[in-house]
Amino acid sequence: MRFGRKNKGRSANLAAVGHHPERVAPRQATDTLSCPLGDVMDISTSGVRIRCKSKPPFSEGAVTTIKFVFNGGKLPVSVQERWRKRRGFRGGHEIGLKFVNNPPNVMNAVESLVKFGFLCPDAVAGEAPKPKPDGKAKKKLRVSVDLPDYYAVLDIPPDADDKRVHTAYRQLARQYHPDANKDSGAQARFISICEAYKVLSDRDQRKSYDLRQAG
């Protein structure tokens, strides 16, 4: 992985890249990770920062899964959005995703990505990877984002208008609210319903979500 080429004038030294208040590990700038949401600005063993082309298609604080797609397979990693900020007048956003609730072998693989600049089957299996020659470490890695089917969560079709989205949300929220429903799975279902409504009731987020699901 080549580091720092997007950020000319910024040192590739880990300590020189700096920290966001939510990041507990040094960042490493990168230009070899691609993502359908936008540009991956940097990565560390605690999280990843992405500059999105439009408003992120999930609500603030959401927990989701990203996948590092590479020649040896896919590495699913659980992340939570910890912060977001708007960039300029064109509606772009920058978001910080923190790695959460991942098993040790997954985090070992992430650490190898940060340290060596590549992912390999050995790293995903939890074994220490061997450094590759520089010329082989520059292959593009794709970061895909798994998003729930928010339309299925609200039991509505993708072409549902705003009124139907709102009606479906109110009916389901009343049905699964933890104060009214004491079933063991009610709280988790209620959280999913609220998450789906936050995205589908926001015009920009819904547009971004639809484009992401279509592509």
Q: Tell me, what CATH number does 90's domain have?
A: 2.40.10
List, in sequence order, every residue forming a beta bridge with 65; answer none if it has no partner. 78, 146
* Confidence check: pLDDT of 36 > 70: yes
Q: Residues 124, 154: one domain?
A: no
Question: CATH no. for residue 154?
Answer: 1.10.287.110
* C-alpha–C-alpha distance, residues 37 and 58, integer Å: 11
Question: In the 8-state DSSP scheme, what is residue 180?
Answer: T
Q: Which of 1-5, 33-37, 173-177 has the lowest mean pLDDT?
A: 1-5
Q: Residues 103, 178: one domain?
A: no
Q: Residues 175, 122: one domain?
A: no
* C-alpha–C-alpha distance, residues 158 and 172, integer Å: 17
Cβ-based burial of 208 (10 A; exposed 0-12, middle 13-18, buried ≥19):
buried
- Residue 158 domain boundaries: 150-214
Q: Residues 112, 23: one domain?
A: yes
* Confidence check: pLDDT of 20 > 60: no
In a domain, 133, yes or no: yes
What values do phi and psi take at 99, rounded to 5? -70, 125
* Confidence check: pLDDT of 120 > 90: no
Q: Decide which of 146, 174, 204 is a domain's last residue.
A: 146
* Confidence check: pLDDT of 206 > 70: yes
Q: Residues 166, 131: one domain?
A: no
Q: Decide which of 100, 131, 146 is a domain's last residue.
A: 146
Q: Residues 103, 185: one domain?
A: no
In a domain, 89, yes or no: yes
* C-alpha–C-alpha distance, residues 162 and 175, integer Å: 20
Position 194 confidence tier, pLDDT thresholds 50, 70, 90: very high
Can you give the pLDDT at residue 200?
A: 94
CA dihedral 27, 33, 39, 45 (to 10 degrees): -30
> In the structure encoding, which two tokens stand for residue 74, read together?
């896919």
106 or 166: which carries more pLDDT confidence? 166
* C-alpha–C-alpha distance, residues 39 and 214, integer Å: 19
Position 14 confidence tier, pLDDT thresholds 50, 70, 90: very low
What values do phi and psi take at 123, rounded to 5? -65, -40
What are the pLDDT digits (tens) for 41-59? 888 899 999 888 777 888 7
What are the pLDDT digits (tens) for 139-170? 567 777 777 889 999 999 999 999 999 999 99
Q: pLDDT averaged over the chain?
A: 77
Q: Residues 90, 189: one domain?
A: no
* C-alpha–C-alpha distance, residues 215 and 209, integer Å: 10
Could you tell me how far CA 4 lies from the centroid of its own chain?
21
Q: How many domains does the chain have?
A: 2
Q: Residues 129, 165: one domain?
A: no
Q: Residues 31, 128: one domain?
A: yes
Q: Residues 97, 37: one domain?
A: yes
Q: Using an 8 Å Cβ cutoff, are 47 and 97 in contact?
A: yes
Q: Decide which of 124, 146, 168 is a domain's last residue.
A: 146
Please enumerate in sequence order all residues whose Cβ is within 8 A of that of 121, keeping only pairs 6 or more positions apart, or say none.
Answer: 72, 73
In a domain, 108, yes or no: yes
